[in-house]
Amino acid sequence: MVSSGDSSATAATRVTELACFRTAFPAEGGTYRMSGGREYTEFSSTVVRVSTEDGTRGYGEASTMGGDYLDGFLESTEATVRRLAPLVLDADPLQAAPLVRMMDRTLIGHFPGKAAIDIAMWDLRGRLLGVPVATLLGGIAQTTVPAFAAVPPGAPEERIAEARRLATRGYLRWQIKVGDAPDRDVADVRAILETVGEGRHYLSCDANCGWTTDDAMRFSRAVADLETYLEQPCASISELALVRAATGRPIIIDEAAKQPRDLLDAIALGCVDGINLKPVRVGGLTKAALMRDIAQSAGLKIAVDEPMGGMLASACVAQLAATVDPRLLLASAFFATNEESFFDERSEAEDGMPTFSHGEISVPTGPGHGVIPDEQSLGDPVFVVDAETV
């Protein structure tokens, strides 16, 4: 069940309990694929719940897709949350940056676990203050945001069928997964674009670090007539700089932008034209908002995404995307198709949940992220930390 909530904040409010849950849902269509032979039949998420003495709760979700995508995996995320939980109980929940700095001083890296905490704390702040997270992150620039559809690798006929299915659902913005054999990728991209038609508004060919610089240049030359971004074609920022200089093709940075300084380095090298911004990858919404501002100041385009997730991740993405300058927002992810596995039930709140219609995602207008999971569907927490257990 998903609902909305409201409360009032006082200066004395403190988090009295942190609970960590583990949940999983199957990949839509049975298998999700990326370059390098990576395949996933199920996705796990870490859900953090923070509670105050008056019963106000905030929730954050972090899915890493597994240890072969981000610098973290389910068990490491949970261990990070457990290690950092005492800091949360000692923090002022209305002050975001001090807690983020303290988490970074306590643990180097381990961003997915930090993200689960930080995202939950933003939800809590919104509920304590009675406003959407987007309001606290800088203001709501748009109440609906464009959604993109990812077309995973596979046999050509499978990819075409999936693209046709997604186009039928109303998607107009596309992220086509590439990154293995450039020649085959070229043929697949052209076939997929023939299928989805000329009504598309945005196209990214996403290699997920799967190419060498030579592969990326060969692909770019072969699609010179297509208007497309290359999304993280190679693993490092220096490789992106080589590809950008040699091809002139606009590049979106993704996996290589783990922290704000990475984005600053890429901008200084002049090798990126946009960023795929994932709060879980960078440690939460606090740093994601900083990287949004850096990108906007440099005139970069922005896609807002997560590795994977359910309704909580969809709501978090929608809140951040709502704050982006509409002229710079490329598209946003929407995972609520996983919601039936992630939640047992759903209820329509008066102030709305993130929904998808005609290629657009509605931004929840309730306090916090605008959604609350049915905890019966989450099951028992993996652990609970409170004042007595610290």
Spatial distance between the Cα atoms of 130 and 127, rounded to a whole number of angstroms = 5
343-355 pLDDT tens trace: 333 333 435 678 8
* Domain boundaries of the chain, sorted by first residue: 15-130+375-386, 136-362
**For the chain, counts of helices (H) and of strands (E):** 14, 17
Spatial distance between the Cα atoms of 105 and 257, rounded to a whole number of angstroms = 20
Given 177, 258, 287, 301, the catalytic residue: 177
Where b means 16+ CB within 10 Å and e means fewer, 99-110 reads bbeebbeebeeb
Spatial distance between the Cα atoms of 216 and 347, rounded to a whole number of angstroms = 46
358-383 pLDDT tens trace: 899 999 999 999 988 888 888 899 99
- pLDDT, residue 337, reads 60
Query: C-alpha dihedral over 372, 3, 122, 139, to 10 degrees?
Result: 150
Say whether 258 is catalytic.
Answer: no
Whether 277 and 259 have beta carbons less than 8 Å apart is answered as no
Say whether 177 is catalytic.
Answer: yes
pLDDT of 340 strictly over 70: no
Query: Tell me: domain 136-362, CATH 3.40.50.2300, correct?
Result: no
Whether 167 and 25 have beta carbons less than 8 Å apart is answered as no
Cα end-to-end span (Å), the chain: 31
pTM of the model: 0.92
- pLDDT, residue 50, reads 97
294-336 pLDDT tens trace: 999 999 999 999 999 888 999 999 999 999 999 999 999 998 6
| Chain centroid, CA 53 distance in Å | 30
For the segment 93-118, the average pLDDT, to the nearest whole number, is 97
CATH topology of domain 15-130+375-386: Enolase-like; domain 1 (3.30.390)
Q: Which residue has the higher pLDDT, 67 or 29?
A: 67
Where b means 16+ CB within 10 Å and e means fewer, 201-228 reads ebbbbbbbbbbebebbbbbbebbeeeeb
Spatial distance between the Cα atoms of 144 and 364, rounded to a whole number of angstroms = 9
pLDDT of 388 strictly over 90: no
Where b means 16+ CB within 10 Å and e means fewer, 273-296 reads bbbbbbbbbbbbbbbbbbbbebbb
Spatial distance between the Cα atoms of 68 and 147, rounded to a whole number of angstroms = 26
- pLDDT, residue 5, reads 42
